[in-house]
Amino acid sequence: MSKNEVVFKLNGGRWNKGDLKRRIQKQLDREALVRGMEDAVDIIADQALEYTPMDTGNLRDSQYRQAYKDGSHVVGKVGYFAEQTKIEEGPNAGESYAWVRHEVEANNYTTPGTGAGFLLRAFNETIGRAMEALRSRK
């Protein structure tokens, strides 16, 4: 070790000061990306709520949002817990309620502007703003 080198031991590894700075910056960049992904997910999920069919409100109330690091990736998810509720009878028996509401066109939507494809529609309409939110956190 030279006099101008600082060595840190972390988890058995050795890095000089420059390596540690790069690792810290990389971690900060990932954390900023997660925050950006949270913003992007919120943009898409907020729009999806407006398009989500509402009868009792259970489907809308079941929406969840996630943003997290998964290895070297940052993942964003929007979904509905109502997927755990199964349709009991009819042509879609056994399918999840959220999936049926998203995939099967019906003619009994109680709220104008809502309907099948609500999540995909929101994604397609907001992806530009969502990507901008993600980029702005870099």
Give the residue among 75, 83, 88 at the shortest CA–CA distance from 119. 83
- Token pair for 50: 């407006």
pLDDT of residue 16: 60
Q: How many CB atoms lie within 10 A of CB 46?
A: 14
Mean pLDDT per block of 10 residues along the chain (138 residues) reads 43 58 72 90 93 81 89 86 70 75 72 82 92 83
Distances (CA, A) of 86 to 83, 97, 109, 117: 7, 5, 19, 18
pTM: 0.73
Give the start-to-end residue ranges of the domains of the chain. Answer: 13-136
At 102, give phi and psi (nearest 5°).
-80, -40
Backbone torsions φ then ψ of 44, nearest 5 degrees? -65, -45
